[in-house]
Structure 1
């Protein structure tokens, strides 16, 4: 699994990412219900991560493939786990403070943050089109957030935008790890490195739970694990700029779940800002696709 180029399957990657968007939308419903029931955010994160380690260990042992969990890149896994834990905390926190549709829309700024990261950290040249898309996307954020007189809590908006930034950084890390590591190995080490930190906080945050709360936590753990695997697998078989387009489908599910479960629909400001943010993401994805094609032609000598 060390040759990433040989594993590129664009259509499979798009379908997997589409499934990930649906599954993770369900997970966010469980997050919101769990925290609203009285479970702390830190404990919610712990129970989200806990099932991953024993389930994957059992699965690999049953298939006599425990060796797959071995890795020579534990430092990279540890770094991914720290950013992943921070991103999950911000993402879950935003979901508890914002309606589902608004939290999901702010997450769409991941593509915008990816451009900013590539320019500032990777020192990649960014042209007028992508900088224009960045400006368009942040204009959409301002339209939705309406600073000073909005239904969107400023703290929730800040957490959602910070979560999107972290997701952009995490996507780069996963893409790098995917060159040498199978998807389930990446998922396993994320949980293995983050669980001890969360477990250390449990004596201070854990409270007795009802059967209803335990059922919500079980659902959260299941859909979280499935979504994380699908998300990682998509990045194994396709480029970040290509598969991230499928994330926009999650707005459909967030709107439906927000109405069915929480009796909330997006406001007019949200609907006005969504096309700007989605449009910016599509421009960036299209431009990244064109640049990838250009790089491929150069590599084959055309």
Structure 2
């Protein structure tokens, strides 16, 4: 059975978002024990070990220097985004931290229009803002003050949006393995000293959690880069909102966080906006998309 490039990209994007939600839950589970710097450092170090065999397989062809500046910028903003998100997930309820991260699609929609010169249709704008309304319904921001962790979560969302734009640019120029290589290198270098200065020795179970965080990070990164090659950038924005559903399910089963009726209503708004824009985009591109 043939799968269109567009639909494959959407499937990879969904898989990526599921992995990101699982990673967030693991970070929350150990966030009180380890500093964000240590988690980011171990994420980078273990991730690099997982990537090296693929670099070796391609005989180090992944070490491309023609777009080094963009690679370093993408890696730097990616590391900053990850550090901000890990900090927020460790200190805020999972649903609240995830809700703050959903400001990323709004940043992304603007950045894609400005830097990638991508046309943003009224439908995509509507779906993006409808999804954001769903996020507001879930998070109910008027109930709590926007504390430091919330501000850091918002900064992480902005950095994440910049990463998406840079990946979109680089994915047309470089192989996926090259895009994945620089990120853990920068993470290890940037957080070596902060991690060592706050180091807490993990036990066996905690090492398993940390390794799973790194493995999920590498897998979600690969899925996301491959999805970016196939999916129109503005479509990523409303689709990213489905992550709140995965976070809600994980929060219920692992942290006993039972969503209220209002939160469920917000999830349904998010799901409806995502399905609407996805079906519309698929219909528009049906005649022109290539098959694999």
TM-score bracket, normalised by the shorter chain, equals 0.7 to 0.9
Q: 2:52 aligns with which of 54, 57, 60?
A: 57
Matches within 5 A, 1:90-105: 90-105=84-99
Corresponding residue for residue 247 of structure 2: 254
Q: Which runs of 5+ in 1 are unaligned?
A: 1-7, 297-302
Deviations 1:72-97 (A, max 9, x none): 11110000011111111122222223
Indicate conservation of the 8 Å contact 1:105/1:274, yes or no.
no
Corresponding residue for residue 165 of structure 1: 158
Q: Distance in 1 between matches of 2:264 and 2:156?
A: 21
Corresponding residue for residue 18 of structure 2: 22
Comparing 249-258 with 218-227, which one deviates more in the overlay? 249-258
Q: 1:149 aligns with which of 143, 149, 172?
A: 143
Q: CA deviation at 1:275?
A: 4.8
1:112 is aligned to 2:83 = no
Corresponding residue for residue 40 of structure 1: 35
Tell me: CA distance 1:64–1:278, structure 2 relative to 1, closer, same or farther (3 Å): closer
1:194 is aligned to 2:190 = no
Tell me: CA distance 1:98–1:244, structure 2 relative to 1, closer, same or farther (3 Å): same
3-state secondary structure, aligned to 2:259: coil
Q: Distance in 1 between matches of 2:61 and 2:124?
A: 42
Deviations 1:114-144 (A, max 9, x none): 2233456667776766665565555445444
1:213 is aligned to 2:206 = yes
How many residues align structurally?
A: 286
Comparing 109-118 with 196-205, which one deviates more in the overlay? 109-118
Indicate conservation of the 8 Å contact 2:99/2:139, yes or no.
no
Tell me: CA distance 1:161–1:87, structure 2 relative to 1, closer, same or farther (3 Å): same
Corresponding residue for residue 227 of structure 1: 220
3-state secondary structure, aligned to 2:196: helix
Q: CA deviation at 1:59?
A: 2.8
Q: Distance in 1 between matches of 2:61 and 2:121?
A: 44
Tell me: CA distance 1:149–1:253, structure 2 relative to 1, closer, same or farther (3 Å): closer
Q: CA deviation at 1:185?
A: 1.1
Q: Distance in 1 between matches of 2:149 and 2:280?
A: 31
Q: CA deviation at 1:103?
A: 3.0
Q: Distance in 2 between matches of 1:40 and 1:77?
A: 26
Indicate conservation of the 8 Å contact 1:23/1:227, yes or no.
yes
TM-score (norm 2): 0.81
Q: Distance in 2 between matches of 1:238 and 1:135?
A: 19
3-state secondary structure, aligned to 2:62: helix
* CA RMSD, Structure 1 to Structure 2 (Å): 3.3
Indicate conservation of the 8 Å contact 1:10/1:237, yes or no.
yes
Q: Distance in 2 between matches of 1:201 and 1:72?
A: 31
Q: Distance in 1 between matches of 2:284 and 2:5?
A: 18
Q: CA deviation at 1:232?
A: 1.4
Corresponding residue for residue 185 of structure 1: 178
Q: Distance in 1 between matches of 2:242 and 2:139?
A: 21
